[in-house]
């Protein structure tokens, strides 16, 4: 073994607790694996890492019933109740230390078990009463035995006294008479003492009966109090959940108040990555995420009766207006059955965006709204904007990138494909501090541009092209394109890309979604990076499902933080205080062993609203995304009729409306192609072709994109997005659509004259 089993500050054998590293036999494929063992209170427990001691025990064996054996110089074999642990220490001296500690702990456990075997109290009230009555019966029986003995002693004592009296009547020497008299007195004293003992026992029994009734009354009172406390705690838990939902749904007291920060809750954490092992968690260490003193502004209102006022109204002297109360439910999903195979059997291998789908497979949100849903945990970016350390900021950005997948765990329905030129705005400037705008900038392939600006110090933009393939049993969704995030004060510019989403059991079985792949988040100003790994689900894996692990490193490649958790629940970070090279992994790679501080919660998923299973498993934010709103653009997804009909439960009408919109879009596209061909023909008759190498190449390029078309004879401009234009990114070198401005000004003036009528 290349790794050395060491004791991290373990007490001497014989103390109450003994800790250290040992090698444990797992199976013939992996052999002995290094594990952290803890011996305490007669129990030997083991963990993969020291950090697991707070939440996950891998196994425990009771030494009171265990057999301890030593095979050779370094091996220890523990067996108890059909369970056997084969352990190995690094040296014979260390093995002997463990054996001594185990033997002492076993002896102590046996003594404790014997001492407590008669002291176990019944668990229920009836059992307690029966136990007390049984004890009293035993005492009465023993008292009867003592009374019998007393009668016998009195009888034999009387006979003894008569014999002694007869001896006194005989003529015996004076000295002998005195001795007989002394024996007679002692016999009398013995009889008196026996009677006193019997009376004391009877008094004890009476006292025990009196106290037993008092104990029964006390136990009954404690039982009633416990039941009352349990009911009170249950009511408090329900009120807590209601207040938590109200807290997330209620408007805030000012526009500067972040929506809420992390909520630490205990839960199971994932195991270590295959090539990474964590240990030596230091308790009571200071938190490593440092923020400025403005953190006390993060408390949000939990009262639904409060009506906060927008600061813009205060500053401008306008009439005070309450912030809008958002909806918390939508109509329940109808229960319609549909034969999926009859639709999908002829679509294998085709692009998902080209398959005609009824709304039965959709959810009443568009892809633009699903893209906006990435902002569910925007408060992570609000907090990151206040971080003084770029590495700590990177941890929060990584948690934000993972949080965008938390809403997908139950969301197996397909969002509506946006029409070309369709937009979606989310104006939460007054309560959450940001404005978001999406626009469908291309239809084949489908691509959407997204831009978010926050008053709390950050801007996010992205262009996402969805590439999806139906493979018969599963559906692969591959988002293409980079996500950019820039913080205003530090000018830190982060770039990352999304992982692959897979929908399983398309034909048979229950649909479920998995995320897999790697994410690299790069701070292009400091060159710091975060490597995130989304582990795909495997039936044979010992890891927790939906596991995510990551390492945050500086520009020199030195690791500073470890990230761990699951993409559907939470992400924690642990600051690295020391790293070293350990043993070889399963693939022959050398493991890196990190010594970390206690993990700190970065992000925790919000609970779903009540009745979420009948509302497409929408989160609290998703329930508000399609809520009707005045003053939005004419191309906004909220105005899409088929989506609105589906949300209302009128699916047959929604299917008809969906077919009408799709046919209208095809007609517009055919007209554009005809106009482009017209312009091309006019250019050919007037001058020599100056476009692509051939008219065929030009026509093919036209069908694949909506770019501008120009020829020397006549210019034709294809579809151009209304609010975004193409620009080359200086960091990635990619040409993407970025926000060019003008939308919010058009909304303020309600001038939508430049918008097309797409619905």
For residue range 211-268, what is the model confidence (pLDDT) as tens digits?
777 787 888 888 888 888 888 887 887 788 778 777 776 654 444 444 444 444 433 3
Non-local (6+) Cβ contacts of 421 within 8 A are 439, 440, 635, 719, 721, 722, 756, 758
Does this model's pTM top 0.85? no
Copy the structure tokens of residue 79. Answer: 């067996």
> For residues 207 and 216, what is the distance between their CA atoms, to the nearest angstrom?
14
Do residues 358 and 652 touch, judged by C-beta distance below 8 A? Answer: no
SS3 322: strand
What would the pLDDT profile of 568-607 be if each residue is shown by its tens digit?
Answer: 999 999 999 988 876 665 556 667 888 889 999 999 999 9
Give pLDDT, residue 16: 64
- In this structure, is the dihedral angle defined by the CA atoms of residues 244, 245, 251 and 257, taken in order, positive or negative? positive
> Quick one: average pLDDT of 97-103?
85
For 94, half-sphere exposure in the C-beta direction (CA atoms, 13 angstrom radius) is 18
Measure the N-to-C terminal CA separation of the chain; round to a whole number of Å: 69
What does residue 313 show for φ and ψ, rounded to 5 degrees?
Answer: -70, -40
Give pLDDT, residue 116: 63
> For residues 674 and 689, what is the distance between their CA atoms, to the nearest angstrom?
18
- Judged against a pLDDT cut of 80, whether residue 759 lies above it is answered with yes
> For residues 67 and 61, what is the distance between their CA atoms, to the nearest angstrom?
11
- In this structure, is the dihedral angle defined by the CA atoms of residues 102, 106, 107 and 109, taken in order, positive or negative? positive
What does residue 395 show for φ and ψ, rounded to 5 degrees?
Answer: -60, -45
Q: List, edge to edge, every strand of the sheet that includes 75-80.
A: 59-62, 43-47, 31-40, 17-27, 83-88, 75-80, 67-69
What would the pLDDT profile of 629-680 be if each residue is shown by its tens digit?
Answer: 999 999 999 999 999 999 999 988 988 898 899 888 888 888 888 888 887 7
> Quick one: average pLDDT of 466-491?
88
Band (pLDDT 50/70/90 cuts) for residue 714 is: very low
Partner residues linked to 425 by β-bridges: 437
Do residues 446 and 440 touch, judged by C-beta distance below 8 A? Answer: yes
Copy the structure tokens of residue 366. Answer: 């568009």
SS3 544: coil
Q: Is 619 left (phi over 0), alpha (psi -120 to 50) or beta?
A: beta
Helix 695-704 × helix 651-686 angle, to 10°: 150
């Amino acid at each position: 073994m290349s790794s050395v089993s060491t004791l991290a500050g373990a007490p001497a054998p014989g103390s109450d607790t003994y800790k250290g590293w040992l090698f444990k036999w797992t199976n013939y494929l992996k052999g002995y694996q290094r594990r952290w063992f803890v011996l305490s209170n007669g129990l030997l427990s083991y963990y993969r890492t020291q950090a697991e001691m707070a939440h996950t025990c891998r196994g425990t064996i009771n030494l009171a019933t265990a057999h301890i054996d030593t095979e050779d110089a370094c091996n220890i074999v523990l067996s108890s109740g059909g369970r056997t642990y084969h352990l190995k220490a690094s040296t014979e001296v260390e093995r002997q230390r463990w054996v001594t500690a185990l033997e002492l702990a076993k002896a102590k456990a046996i003594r404790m078990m014997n001492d407590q075997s008669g002291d176990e109290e019944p668990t229920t009230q009836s059992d307690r009463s029966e136990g007390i009555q049984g004890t009293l019966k035993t005492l009465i029986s023993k008292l009867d035995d003592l009374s019998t003995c007393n009668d016998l002693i009195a009888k034999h004592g009387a006979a003894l006294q008569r014999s002694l009296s007869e001896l006194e009547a005989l003529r015996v020497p004076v000295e002998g008479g005195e001795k007989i008299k002394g024996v007679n007195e002692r016999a009398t004293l013995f009889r008196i003492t026996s009677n006193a003992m019997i009376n004391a026992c009877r008094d004890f029994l009476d006292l025990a009966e009196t106290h037993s009734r008092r104990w029964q009354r006390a136990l009954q009172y404690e039982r009633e109090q416990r039941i009352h406390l349990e009911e009170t705690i249950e009511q408090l838990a329900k009120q807590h959940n209601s207040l938590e939902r109200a807290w997330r749904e209620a408007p805030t007291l000012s526009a500067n108040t972040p929506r809420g920060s992390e909520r630490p809750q205990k839960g199971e954490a994932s195991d270590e990555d295959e090539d990474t092992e964590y240990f030596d968690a230091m308790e009571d260490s200071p938190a490593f995420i440092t923020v400025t003193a403005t953190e006390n502004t993060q408390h949000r209102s939990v009262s639904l009766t409060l009506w906060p006022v927008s600061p813009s109204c205060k500053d401008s002297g306008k009439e005070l207006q309450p912030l809008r109360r958002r909806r918390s439910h939508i109509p329940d999903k109808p229960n319609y059955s549909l034969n999926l195979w009859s639709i999908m059997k002829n679509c294998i291998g085709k692009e998902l965006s080209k398959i005609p789908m009824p709304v039965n497979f959709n959810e009443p949100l568009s892809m633009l709204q699903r893209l906006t849903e990435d902002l569910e945990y925007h408060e992570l970016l609000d907090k990151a904007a206040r971080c003084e350390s770029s590495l700590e900021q990177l941890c929060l950005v990584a948690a934000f990138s993972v949080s965008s997948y938390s809403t997908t765990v139950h969301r197996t329905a397909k969002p509506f494909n946006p029409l070309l030129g369709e937009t979606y705005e989310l104006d939460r400037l007054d309560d959450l501090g940001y404005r978001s705008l999406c626009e469908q900038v291309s239809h084949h392939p489908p691509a959407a541009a997204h831009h978010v600006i926050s008053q709390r110090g950050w801007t996010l933009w992205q262009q996402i092209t969805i590439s999806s393939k139906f493979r018969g049993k599963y559906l692969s969704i591959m988002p293409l394109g980079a996500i950019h995030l820039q913080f205003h004060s530090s000018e830190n510019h982060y770039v990352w890309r999304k992982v692959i989403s897979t929908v399983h059991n398309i034909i048979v079985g229950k649909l479920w979604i998995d995320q897999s792949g790697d994410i690299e988040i790069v701070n292009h100003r400091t060159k710091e990076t975060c490597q995130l790994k989304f582990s795909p689900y495997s039936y044979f894996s010992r890891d927790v499902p939906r596991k995510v692990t990551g390492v945050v490193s500086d520009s020199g490649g030195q690791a500073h933080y470890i990230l761990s958790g699951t993409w559907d629940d939470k992400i924690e970070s642990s600051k690295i205080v020391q790293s070293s090279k350990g043993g070889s992994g399963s693939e022959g790679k050398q493991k890196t062993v990190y010594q970390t501080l206690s993990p700190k919660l970065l992000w925790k998923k919000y609970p779903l609203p009540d009745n979420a299973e009948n509302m497409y498993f929408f989160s609290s934010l998703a329930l508000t995304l399609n809520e009707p709103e005045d003053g939005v653009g004419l191309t906004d997804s909220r105005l899409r009729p088929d989506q609105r009909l589906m949300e209302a439960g009128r699916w047959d009408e929604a299917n008809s409306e969906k077919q009408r919109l799709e046919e209208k879009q095809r007609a517009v596209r055919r007209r554009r192609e005809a106009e482009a061909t017209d312009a091309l023909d006019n250019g050919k008759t007037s001058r020599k072709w100056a476009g692509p190498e051939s008219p065929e190449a030009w026509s093919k390029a036209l069908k694949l994109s909506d770019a501008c078309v120009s020829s020397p004879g006549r210019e034709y401009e294809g579809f151009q997005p209304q609010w975004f234009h193409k620009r080359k990114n200086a960091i990635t070198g990619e040409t993407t659509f970025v926000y060019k401005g003008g939308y919010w000004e058009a909304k303020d003036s309600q001038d939508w004259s430049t918008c097309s009528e797409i619905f």
